[in-house]
Amino acid sequence: MAQGAGITREWSLATAHTDSSIVTVGASERAIVMFFQATLGEEADGNCSCRAGFGTTALPAVANDDLAGVLGVFFSHAAIPPGGGEVAANAGAVVSEGGPGQHIRITHSLVVNSFLRVVMTYRIITVDAGT
C-alpha cells in the first residue's frame, strides 16, 4: 500500500494490554489518526477502561488532578459499559498526529466474557529531515 493512503483496521481484544503497540512506525515516519472507535461487547461482565495515543515506548501517564494534562493521548475512557462505546472522529479530518517514531499504542483493562472491539483509520507519512 502506498505511503499516505488511509488504512482502516479492526482489532478484537479480550486480554488486558498495557502500552501495546497496535501500529508501528519507523524513526522517520509519523502516524496520523483520522478515526478511532472502541466498543465493548454486551456480554461483558463489567466495564472496560481504554486509552489510546502515541509513544515510542509507552503511552504518556496522567495523574489525577493534574491540570497540565498530557500530550499524545487521543482517546481515553475510564469505564466503557457493556454494549457501549465511544468514538474519536473529526468529520473525516485528522484527529491526532504523532511525532516521528511514535507508535500508536493502546492500554485497556481485562475484558471478562467478551471483547473490546477497536476500529481505527490512520495513515503513515514520511517525515522530512527538517521536521
Where residue 43 sits, what CATH number does that domain have? 2.60.120
Does residue 47 belong to any structural domain of this protein? yes
Does residue 35 belong to any structural domain of this protein? yes
Does residue 1 belong to any structural domain of this protein? no
Provide the number of structural domains found in the chain: 1
Does residue 131 belong to any structural domain of this protein? no
Does residue 2 belong to any structural domain of this protein? no
Find the domain containing 69 and state its range: 7-126
Cα atoms in the Cβ-side hemisphere of radius 13 Å centred on 66: 9
Does residue 14 belong to any structural domain of this protein? yes
Query: What is the percentage of the chain residues whose pLDDT exceeds 70?
Result: 94
Q: List own/partner pairs for 1-4 with CB under 8 A and 24 or more apart.
A: 3/123, 3/124, 3/125, 3/126, 4/123, 4/124, 4/125
pLDDT tens digits, 17-33: 999 999 999 999 999 99
